[in-house]
């Protein structure tokens, strides 16, 4: 799917705050001048590349530990869609940092799902399919860099001790006894971890940030742990693996991502995302780091006023300072200026000397203080959060969905009741409908619930214009036309009938079927004692067999238990649809039917919601207790003869019953109900 050169070429039907952010960044030229090395890499790699042909770069980064669901579909459409709108590229990247839960099966299924939804990761002659594990070498290098410069350490506390010392929302954490161990000692331990000399859980690498931070995610989070496990992509090369929150920003930076879009649960992780990237700038963006140092020198050379202005800008970002010795000295200068503003000019030589001699310790400060002089001085990606999709009557936790599969509650990941993409695909949902749904619900910063009926409405709106019509009888009872031989001269006569394949699509042609002395009708189309307003068959009443003749009900046949086994009626001559006599008899009821002689028997699966509770796992509820015991009903039905050879995946509107898709598993003619003709969710 090629991306347009400009957004105006493919204007979306609705707006959202992410579009506003991208348009703002493009207008400000925040990503101009970037280069692309042809593949992911550090700053030196990209510096030798060509000007980036993508105006923006986004990514869809699933973990291959399960099949994707409807929430992922929204994210896929959002990321790939925004990239397309703004002349950009969206990468498909597997965040495969947890070897114990990830499998090649899931990798293949995810690639298939993205392509089925209509998106591609190929652009400008490049296949943008990547793995976090492709970058394990650089991530390890970054961990060593942080340790060497006093921003990380190896902690040998037990997991229980670390958990207890972390504190909570009202209690600050307690520093690890290993927090201030010499960098050389931590570095030696890290290399022992890498070389497999320690068992799982014996130690971890932690970022050194602030154990008293009100954001618990900044209380010295782990960045590497030991896992002696075979990885689906790297095999047994590594026995230590980066934590997701450490790996993810590095992946984004190496891939030149401009807008890293994720869901709201990662909002509290954004400070750590920025911390990681800003701290490793000297090895991540070496050319940009050198230019920033040169820019600081030029600012100093511009004189006292320019130097003072820049120094005060740095002071305004003092919160970016950590606790290394050079940063503590810089903090002391800033505190002095707060007491004595006139001291700034006198301290300028010391300020610039400290900044230039220890520039590698001040990259978080420079990333912000240099903005007025150079837009995006280090060309770092930025994270933006949106509300995840919360859909009524649905569970979207991959862990919980996997439990449904493993315990046999559903028939695999592609069970049509599952909210997985493979399940919706087998159910008969179209990629166009899912993309339409994603666009209609938009993007928000606030969590909320979306009614499942909106998804079904998108499915109906998509299928209405393209699904051929057909008649099917799902709860059959025989209708015997007792005067058939008298009217047509033979009990074996079959009267040809036809109908448009689609009422608004002449290009789809017509469908042919035959009416005989016996047909199947829906059991509910007959009533011995009809309720008020009932216009179908009951003794003495007339109704039309759709596309056929008017018939008059004369009674019924019953078995010994009083169950109706056949409905009896007489055909009214000269009332065939499409003939001059069709309007000779006025009736209010029209009945769908299938001929007994040429109809095809089929298994029809009537799927309903998997859960009875609109919020099955909200608030810690037991979602399995909300399972709907009637979520699927299998019936033996009869369909028009043309459907006997329906190709799997072909969608139809069964007149009166809704939309169905052919699903010929096990060699049987079968149809899955996609959706009814009207919204039934929430009722």
Residue 158 annotated as part of some ligand binding site: no
| 277's tokens | 């990237």
Residue 672 annotated as part of some ligand binding site: no
Residue 496 annotated as part of some ligand binding site: no
Per DSSP, 41 falls in state -
User: Cβ-count burial of 281 within 10 angstroms (0-12 exposed, 13-18 middle, 19+ buried)?
Assistant: buried
List 152's β-bridge partners, or say none: 207
Residue 171 annotated as part of some ligand binding site: no
Which of 102, 154, 163 shows the shortest CA–CA distance to 133?
Answer: 102
Sequence-separated (6 or more) residues with CB below 8 Å from residue 92: 59, 60, 110, 111, 114, 121, 128, 129, 130
Per DSSP, 4 falls in state P
Which of 460, 471, 404 shows the shortest CA–CA distance to 428?
Answer: 460
**What CA–CA distance (Å, rounded) separates 592 from 264?**
49
Residue 404 annotated as part of some ligand binding site: no
The helix or strand, by DSSP H or E, that contains position 108, with its residue range, turns out to be helix 104-116
Which of 19, 4, 49 shows the shortest CA–CA distance to 379?
Answer: 49
The catalytic position among 23, 63, 156, 371 is 63
- How many angstroms separate the Cα of 377 from the Cα of each of 364, 368, 381, 444? 11, 8, 11, 30
**What CA–CA distance (Å, rounded) separates 159 from 480?**
76
Residue 50 annotated as part of some ligand binding site: no
Q: Which residue has the tokens 């060309």?
A: 379
Per DSSP, 198 falls in state S
* Cα-only R_g, the chain: 34
Per DSSP, 468 falls in state P
Q: Check if 398 is active-site.
A: yes
Ramachandran region, residue 35 (left: φ > 0; alpha: ψ -120 to 50; beta: rest): beta
Contact by Cβ (8 Å): 308, 314? no
**What CA–CA distance (Å, rounded) separates 349 from 648?**
77
At residue 336, φ and ψ (nearest 5 deg) are: -65, -40
| 289's tokens | 């780091």
Which of 444, 462, 333, 469 shows the shortest CA–CA distance to 387?
Answer: 444
User: Cβ-count burial of 575 within 10 angstroms (0-12 exposed, 13-18 middle, 19+ buried)?
Assistant: buried
Q: Check if 63 is active-site.
A: yes
- How many angstroms separate the Cα of 650 from the Cα of each of 115, 294, 501? 19, 64, 13
Q: Check if 480 is active-site.
A: no
Residue 393 annotated as part of some ligand binding site: no
SS3 call for 354: helix
The catalytic position among 206, 270, 279, 398 is 398
The catalytic position among 19, 388, 505, 514 is 388
Residue 680 annotated as part of some ligand binding site: no
- How many angstroms separate the Cα of 342 from the Cα of each of 301, 312, 349, 353, 448? 20, 12, 14, 19, 52
SS3 call for 291: helix
Q: For 545-613, where are the alpha helices, taking DSSP H only?
A: none
**What CA–CA distance (Å, rounded) separates 34 from 32?**
6
Annotated binding site for L-glutamine: 95, 244
What amino acid positions are annotated as catalytic residues?
Answer: 63, 388, 398
Residue positions in the annotated binding site for ATP?
63-65, 263, 388-389
């Amino acid at each position: 799917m090629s991306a347009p050169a400009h957004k105006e070429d493919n204007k979306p039907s609705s707006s959202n705050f992410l579009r506003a952010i991208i348009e703002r960044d493009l207008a400000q030229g925040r990503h101009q001048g970037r280069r692309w090395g042809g593949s992911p890499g550090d700053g030196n790699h990209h510096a030798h590349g060509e000007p980036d042909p993508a105006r923006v770069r986004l990514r869809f980064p699933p973990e291959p530990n399960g099949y994707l669901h409807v929430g992922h579909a929204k994210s896929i459409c959002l990321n790939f869609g925004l990239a397309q709108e703004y002349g950009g590229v969206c990468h498909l990247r597997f965040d495969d940092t947890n070897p114990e839960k990830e499998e090649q099966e899931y990798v293949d299924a995810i690639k298939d799902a993205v392509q089925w939804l209509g998106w591609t990761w190929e652009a400008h002659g490049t296949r943008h399919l990547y793995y976090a594990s492709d970058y394990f070498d650089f991530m390890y290098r970054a961990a060593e860099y942080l340790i060497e410069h006093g921003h990380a350490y190896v902690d040998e506390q037990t997991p229980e001790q670390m958990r207890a010392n972390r504190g909570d929302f009202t209690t600050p954490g307690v520093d690890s006894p290993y927090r201030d161990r010499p960098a050389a000692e931590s570095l030696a331990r890290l290399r022992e971890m890498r070389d497999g000399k320690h068992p799982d859980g014996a130690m971890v690498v932690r970022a050194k940030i602030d154990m008293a931070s009100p954001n618990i995610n900044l209380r010295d989070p782990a960045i590497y742990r030991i896992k002696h496990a075979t990885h689906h992509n790297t095999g047994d090369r590594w026995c230590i693996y980066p934590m997701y929150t450490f790996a993810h920003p590095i992946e984004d930076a190496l891939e030149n991502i401009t807008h890293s879009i994720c869901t709201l649960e990662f909002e509290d992780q954004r400070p750590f995302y920025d911390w990681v990237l800003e701290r490793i700038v000297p090895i991540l963006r070496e050319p940009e780091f050198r230019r920033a140092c040169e820019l600081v020198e030029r600012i100093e050379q511009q004189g006292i006023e320019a130097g003072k202005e820049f120094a005060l800008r740095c002071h305004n970002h003092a919160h970016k300072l950590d606790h290394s010795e050079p940063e503590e000295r810089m903090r002391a200068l800033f505190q002095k200026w707060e007491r004595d503003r006139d001291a700034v000019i006198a301290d300028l030589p010391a300020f610039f000397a400290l900044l230039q001699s220890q520039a590698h310790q001040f990259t978080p400060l420079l990333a912000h203080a240099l903005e007025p002089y150079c837009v995006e001085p280090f060309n770092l990606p930025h994270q933006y959060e949106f509300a995840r999709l919360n859909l009524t009557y649905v569970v979207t936790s991959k862990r919980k969905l996997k439990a449904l599969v493993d315990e046999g509650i559903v028939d695999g990941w592609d069970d049509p009741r599952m909210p997985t993409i493979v399940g919706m695909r087998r159910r008969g949902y179209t990629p166009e409908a899912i993309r339409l749904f994603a666009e209609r619900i938009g993007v928000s910063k606030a969590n909320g619930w979306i009614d499942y009926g909106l998804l079904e409405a998108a499915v109906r709106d998509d299928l209405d214009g393209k699904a051929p019509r057909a008649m099917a009888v799902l709860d059959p009872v025989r209708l015997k036309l007792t005067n058939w031989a008298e009217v047509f001269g033979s009990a074996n006569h079959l009267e040809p009938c036809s109908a448009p394949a689609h009422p608004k699509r002449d290009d789809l042609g017509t469908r042919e079927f035959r009416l005989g002395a016996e047909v199947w009708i829906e059991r509910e189309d007959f009533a011995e004692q009809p309720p008020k307003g009932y216009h179908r068959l009951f003794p003495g009443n007339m109704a039309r067999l759709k596309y056929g003749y008017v018939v008059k009900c004369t009674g019924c046949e019953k078995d010994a238990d009083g169950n109706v086994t056949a409905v009896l009626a007489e055909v009214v001559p000269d009332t065939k649809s499409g003939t001059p006599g069709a309007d000779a008899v006025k009736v209010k009821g029209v009945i769908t039917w299938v001929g007994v002689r040429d109809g095809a028997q089929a298994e029809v699966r009537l799927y309903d919601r998997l859960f009875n509770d609109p919020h099955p796992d909200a608030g810690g509820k037991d979602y399995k207790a909300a399972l709907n015991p009637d979520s699927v009903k299998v019936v033996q039905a009869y369909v028009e003869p043309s459907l006997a050879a329906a190709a799997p995946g072909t969608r139809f509107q069964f007149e009166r019953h809704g939309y169905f898709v052919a699903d010929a598993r096990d060699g049987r003619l079968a149809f899955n109900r996609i959706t009814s003709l009207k919204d039934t969710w929430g009722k």
